[in-house]
Amino acid sequence: MFICSIFLDARSSGAGIPQRLAALKEILQRLDNRLELLVVDDTGDRRLAVLTKHHRAILIHAEGTPLGDRLNLAVTHSQGEVLLFPVQSTTLTADWLIRTIESIEHHERDAVVITRQPSSRLARLWRRLHSHPFSDTLCVSRVWFDRIGGCDPSLDADALPDLIERLRACQARVDNDPG
């Protein structure tokens, strides 16, 4: 069984998906046979099959549904006890992931959030006024993901921020990590 499943959404990643897969290559090599990488795709881009095969990722085809539904579908195809939903702007390291997985495995915490908020107050206000959620990378135990029913399948851009809010509301031990 895999320790951690990493999920990428082809639609959210857009043209940046090759760079995202390449950025995860070191982590996958260092934690070989303990990680699985899943790419959920509702774009129908035929190039993804070759790209995911090259990076030893599992390609999951989805219909044109909201992000929450796509991520729930990907989780049903995964085996990891820890689920990682990285956002594009976050750079992850193998050391950070190892520490995070161990803390979740040892039940020291249930989830870890890396928040990338704009630095200026004006930029944060602008995002709030225009309903753009902050970019959050979420690493959560499968037990808690399942306990709260996963992502809201009707939500798109707000799927992960909503999941984080529900984890906190249900008293999960959610730690913020500056990354």
Chain segment 16-38, per-residue pLDDT in tens: 899 888 888 888 888 877 899 99
Of the ranges 13-27, 37-51, 120-134, 136-150, which one carries the lowest mean pLDDT score?
120-134
Q: Mind giving me the DSSP string for 83-114?
A: EEE--TTPPP-HHHHHHHHHHHHTTS-SEEEE
How far, CA to CA in Å, does 159 sit from each of 79, 131, 138, 155? Answer: 21, 13, 11, 5
Count how many domains the chain has. Answer: 1
Q: What is the pLDDT of residues 134-169, one digit of tens each?
A: 567 899 999 999 999 999 999 998 899 999 999 999
pLDDT confidence of residue 117:
58
Split at pLDDT 50, 70, 90, the class of 67 is very high
Q: Is the pLDDT of residue 15 over 90?
A: no
pLDDT confidence of residue 13:
85
CATH at 43: 3.90.550.10
Kindly report the number of other CB atoms within 10 A of residue 179's CB atom. 15
Of the ranges 99-113, 119-133, 154-168, which one carries the lowest mean pLDDT score?
119-133
Of the ranges 72-86, 87-101, 125-139, 153-167, which one carries the lowest mean pLDDT score?
125-139
pLDDT confidence of residue 128:
60
Gyration radius (Cα) of the chain, Å: 16
pLDDT confidence of residue 174:
94
Per the structure, the complete domain to which residue 83 belongs is given by: 4-177
Q: What does pLDDT average to over the chain? A: 87
pLDDT confidence of residue 154:
95
Report the alpha-carbon distance of residue 120 to residue 123 in Å, rounded. 5
Percent of the chain with pLDDT over 90: 58
